[in-house]
Amino acid sequence: MRYGSACMGTTGRVGRPPAGDSAETLRRILVAARQRFARDGFRATTNRHIADDVGISTSALYHYVSSKAELYAAVYRDTVDQIYTEFESVAAEHDHVVDRYMAVLHRSGELQAADPSIAGFLVAVADETRRQPELLELMAPQLGRHQRFFSGLVADAVRRGELSHDADERALADMLGAVLTGLARMVASAGDPQRYVDAVAVLGRFLDGSLMPVDQ
């Protein structure tokens, strides 16, 4: 991504930002772009829409990205890095795989509640990349991080002796990742973050056995 020096056009929109403002402007661009892509999709979103949302000129936007495809991929890389860095952090605070996984689910819900565009953007990525396969190469640095995270979570549990010796590690990693993804899709579709919170709470009770009837 590219940066420029400062100027202000007669329209009042920001042109090239001062060097000290570049990181903040880029952050605003990425957030605005994610919100647009999540709401309107890749094809319907234009760089002008995003520039207008940020309050800069379209030409200023091109000091950061060279194309809409590059911007979409930058949003993907940034969003995936943000959420999985958070997941790694909260998982590290717990010692057992179930506690670590539940911490990840809770943190995911907090992130989605704070910014619903996170789930909306990520759940649409598979469809968008099927329609625009050129995006995949640009997104490459973060592709596979989802699977690597859950595979690592399971591998750590195996090393700690927390799982049965005959546990299918790949299947378990797939299941854990699919639950997270499925819940995110539900939130994006329903537009109701509370349903996510409720589902995670029920899953926690299911896993610890408290959802089952007490023997009389």
List, for residues 14-59, the tens digit of each pLDDT value: 445 554 478 899 999 999 999 999 999 999 999 999 999 999 999 9
167-206 residue pLDDT tens: 999 999 999 999 999 998 888 888 788 889 999 999 999 9
Q: Is the distance from CB of 77 to CB of 139 less than 8 angstroms?
A: yes
**What is the pLDDT averaged over residues 1-13?**
36
3-state secondary structure of 8: strand
Q: Please state the domain extents for the chain.
A: 1-66, 74-208
How far is residue 147's CA from residue 124's CA, in Å, rounded to a whole number?
17
What per-residue confidence (pLDDT) applies to 9? 36
pTM to 2 decimals?
0.83
What per-residue confidence (pLDDT) applies to 11? 37
Checking if the pLDDT of 93 tops 50, the result is yes
Domain 1-66 matches domain 74-208 at the CATH topology level: no
Q: Which helix (H) or strand (E) holds 103?
A: helix 97-114
Task: Kindly list the distances between the CA atom of residue 58 and the CA atoms of 28, 45, 52, 62, 91, in Å, as whole numbers in the listed order.
Answer: 14, 13, 8, 7, 40
Under CATH, what is the fold of the domain 74-208? Tetracycline Repressor; domain 2 (1.10.357)
With a CB cutoff of 8 Å and minimum separation 6, the contacts of 102 are 200, 203, 204, 207
Q: How confident is the prediction for the chain on average, in pLDDT?
A: 87
What per-residue confidence (pLDDT) applies to 199? 94
116-175 residue pLDDT tens: 899 899 989 988 999 989 888 888 878 889 999 999 999 999 999 999 989 999 999 999
Q: How crowded is residue 136: how many other Cβ atoms within 10 Å of its Cβ?
A: 14
CATH 3.90.1150.10 fits 1-66, yes or no: no
**What is the pLDDT averaged over residues 90-111?**
95
3-state secondary structure of 14: strand
What per-residue confidence (pLDDT) applies to 140? 84
How far is residue 185's CA from residue 111's CA, in Å, rounded to a whole number?
14
What per-residue confidence (pLDDT) applies to 157? 96
**What is the pLDDT averaged over residues 61-84?**
93
Question: Mind giving me the DSSP string for 36-84?
Answer: HHHHHHHHH--HHHHHHHHTB-HHHHTTT-SSHHHHHHHHHHHHHHHHH
How far is residue 69's CA from residue 78's CA, in Å, rounded to a whole number?
14
Q: Which residue, among 34, 22, 19, has the nearest Cα to 64 in the 3D structure?
A: 22
Per-residue pLDDT band for 110 (boundaries 50, 70, 90) equals very high
